[in-house]
Structures are given as structure tokens and as C-alpha cells.
Amino acid sequence: MKTDSTTPKTNTSNVGGLVRKFGKVLHFRAEDRKRKSKNGFDSQPSNDPHIDQDSAIDEKESSIAVEKHREAAAMVLLVAKLFASVSAVKAAYAKLQVAQSPYDPETIQSADETVVSELKNLSELKQSYLKQQHIDTDSQESLIEAEEREHRCLVKTYEILKSKLELEIAQKDSEAALFRDQLRESEKRVRSIEKRISGRRPLDDDIVIPHFSALNPCHFLSMVRHTVRSVRTFTQSLVEHMESAGWDLVAVARSIEPCAAGGSNKTRKDWKRHVLESYVCRMMFADFENRDSSSWDRERFFEEFAAFASPSSDVLRAVKPGSAFGRFCREKYASTMHSKMEMAFFGNLDHRATINSGTGFPGTRFFGVFAEMARRVWALHCLAFAFEPAVKVFQAPRGARFTEVYMESVDDGGGAATVGFTVVPGFVVGKMVIQCKVYLSDLKANGR
């Protein structure tokens, strides 16, 4: 039993030692072979089948890796050439489009040849890919050249599109200039027709009060003309009372608009009346865009307009001093007629006292002319808020360059082209512009 137990232990120890020694020998021989292979001395194939198999596997894997790398590089180059050709086709097509108008046969032929050539290149690339023919990728320059060609074609495309857009902009500018000229001619014809129509001096009975749903800017224009006529009537009455009171109209006009009383302006006809008319309009149209009755809607404003638009002495007699028009009339008289003016005209302040008492209005002819003007301004004011959006009022600033689109001169202007002052304000009704009436002056705003 002792012998049996000892013998296996000794055999196991000997086998382990042999394995370790054999491993050392193999390791030593492998290291020696690698060293000789590096130094070029191992030219004989190894007789060890395990070593030859490992070497063959390494070589095969290396060959596969190289092939995959070459295929990937070939695919990158193929895609780069594909994009370059497509970009060239886009550039040629853009060039072809631009050459259509204006027609350029040489450019069209050149672009057509480029498109055909690039389509052939694309066909060759397709066949190369389908037949798995490898593209030469030995030189990195081929890839760079393809990318550079693509970028050049893209830049060329953008340049062509830029020139096309610039040409379209120039054409649009020319069309806009032509339309502006046509618009000016149309406006001149309209003004000429309006002057011929207004020359008939229609009566107040010609005012047509439309239905609210049929309201349009032409109705406002008609009311503006009637209102301006009443302003001129009151201005003439004002001039007559000033002359009767012995006032110096030149001094009065100079105190209102210094730029109108000098240079060539003083030789122009009716310049003093234009100054006084501008003063009356400035007072009467002040706060024109202010809604006196904020609770009124468009239809309520239209009803108020209809009530005061038609001429009727009964309207002025029946109006209550505390009504909206009564307050408007009282405020406008106080701002337009200074107490010194009233005292000079009538020798007393009875008009002002009667109006401020709130019991009624004076029955004099002078106040009747004023009340008629106030009635029309009030009707125009109410009509303005019957529109949606509400009508806007504007004036030409002093010293502004004269433009026929927004302005109309009250006379020939004496050769001047600069606004001295606004006589009658203008209005904007939706998309329609009613020109303001201006007095042109060759003097600066300070009157020098």
C-alpha cells in the first residue's frame, strides 16, 4: 500500500517538470525564431506546424484589413466625385436658366455641353460601382481635387443665382419707377377732374348721405370740400371785420406766419387770406382725432354726421348748448375768437357771454357764419370716426420739400418748392390720401 501511494506522486511530479521544461524549450525556440526573422537570418520555413499556422492567420488578417481600408478609401473618393459631378450639373443648370432670359444661345450651348459631360461622368461612376472596379486611391490629391471641384461648382452656382437675383431686383426697380410715374400721371388727371367738378360750386343740397353700409372714402372727400368752403366763407367774414375795425392785415398775417410776409411772398395775391385761413383751420381742426364721446360706436357717429351734414337752420336752433355739438361749438369759438378780436369787432363781449352762459347761442350774422362752419367741421369729425379704421389728419411740416402725393399748393407758389405753412390739413381715409393744401415759400422757417 505504501508503494502504491508513493508511486503516483512521483510520476505526477516528473510529468509536471517535463511539461515545464518543454514549454521553456518552445518559448526559447519561438523567441529565437522571431529574433532571426527580424535580422533576416531566418530564411528557411519552420518545420513546426503550429507556428506556420499562426503566421498564416496573421498574414490573412492583415491582408483583409488592408483590403477593407482600400475599399473604404475608394468609396470615399467615389462619393466625393459623385458630389462634385452633381454640383457641376447644378451649376450648369442654373447657368442654363439664367441664359433663357435674355436669350443667350452661346451660354445655353455651353451649359448644355457641361450637363451632358457631367451626366457621362455620373454614368461612368455608376458602372464602376456596379462592376466593383476599384478607383485608384494611392494619391490623396485625387480626393482633395474632387472636394475642391465640388466647392468650386457650389460657389459658381451661388454666383449665378446672385446675378439672377440682382437682375430681378433691377427689373423690379424699373417696374416700380414706371408704376410711380403712372401713379403721378393718374393723380394729376384726378386733380384736374376734381378741379373742373369743384368749379361748378355745388350747393349743400348736393351732399348725399349714404347708407352706413355703403360708406366709402369718396363721401368723406365730398364732405371735406363742403367744409373747406365754409372755412373760407368765415375767413372772408373775419377779414371784413378786421378791415372794418381798422386792423393792419399785414401785421396780423406776419404775427401768425412770419415766413409769409417777406421776399417774393408779399407780391403774391391773397397771401394774407391764406394766412388767416390757415389760422382758422388750425383752431377748428385741433383735436380732430380725439373722440369726444368715447361711448359712441361707429354707427352712432354716423347718425350724428347724418343729423348735421344737411343744411338746416332748424338744426342750429334746436341744438342744446349742453349737447356734444354745443360743447364743440362753444370750445371752438373761444379758441378761434380771442376776446380782443371780439371787442374790436363789436365793442363788447356779448357773443362770448351768451355762449358761456349755456342758455343758447347769439343770433347775429357773424356767429351764424361761424356756426355754419362749426356744423360742417363737426359733421366731418363724426364722419371720420364712422370709418374703420378712423380717419387720420396730417399737416405738412414747415420747410418740407413739396410733393404732389401728399400736398396741393393753394397758388402757383411763385416758383418756390418748400412748404411755408399748411393752409388746410390733409386726411388719410383707409388707403386714400386727401392732400393737404399748403402755401409754398422761398423763405426759411425763421422768415429770413
**Cα 265 from Cα 416, distance rounded (Å):** 10
| Phi, psi values for residue 160, rounded to 5° | -65, -45
Q: Which helix (H) or strand (E) holds 266?
A: none
- 3-state SS string over 182-234? HHHHHHHHHHHHHHHHHCCCCCHHHCCCCCHHHCCHHHHHHHHHHHHHHHHHH
Give me 107's grid cell.
451660354
Sheet holding 407-409, edge to edge: 407-409, 436-441, 418-424
Residue 22: per-residue pLDDT: 42
Q: Give the distance from CA 387 to its chain's centroid.
A: 25
The CA-based dihedral angle spanning residues 13, 19, 23, 25, taken in that order and rounded to the nearest 10 degrees: 90
Lookup result for grid cell 391773397: 270
- Could you tell me which of 438, 395, 393 has the C-alpha nearest to residue 419? 438
**Cα 236 from Cα 247, distance rounded (Å):** 14
Whether pTM exceeds 0.85: no
Distance from the first to the final alpha carbon of the chain: 146
Judge whether 289 and 380 are in contact, CB under 8 Å: no
**Cα 174 from Cα 210, distance rounded (Å):** 41
- Could you tell me which of 328, 339, 325, 334 has the C-alpha nearest to residue 356? 334
Judge whether 292 and 328 are in contact, CB under 8 Å: yes
Going residue by residue through the chain, which has 448 residues, state the pLDDT in tens, using 9 for 90 and above. 444 444 444 444 443 444 454 444 444 444 554 444 444 444 455 555 555 566 666 666 677 776 676 777 777 777 888 888 888 888 887 877 777 776 778 878 877 888 888 888 788 777 777 776 555 555 455 777 777 877 888 887 888 888 888 888 988 988 988 898 888 888 878 777 766 655 444 445 457 788 888 899 999 999 999 999 999 999 999 999 999 999 998 889 888 887 766 555 556 677 889 999 999 999 999 999 988 766 789 999 999 998 888 765 555 665 677 788 888 988 999 999 999 999 999 999 999 998 888 778 888 899 989 999 999 999 999 999 999 999 999 999 988 999 888 999 988 766 677 898 999 999 999 999 999 999 988 765 444 4
Q: Give the distance from CA 147 to its chain's centroid.
A: 40
Q: Hey, CA dihedral for 357, 363, 364, 365, is it positive or negative?
A: positive
| Phi, psi values for residue 428, rounded to 5° | -115, 115
**Cα 376 from Cα 381, distance rounded (Å):** 8
- Sorted by sequence, the CB contacts under 8 Å of residue 288 that are 6+ apart come out as 381, 384, 393, 425
**Cα 223 from Cα 391, distance rounded (Å):** 13
Sheet holding 426-429, edge to edge: 392-394, 426-429, 432-434
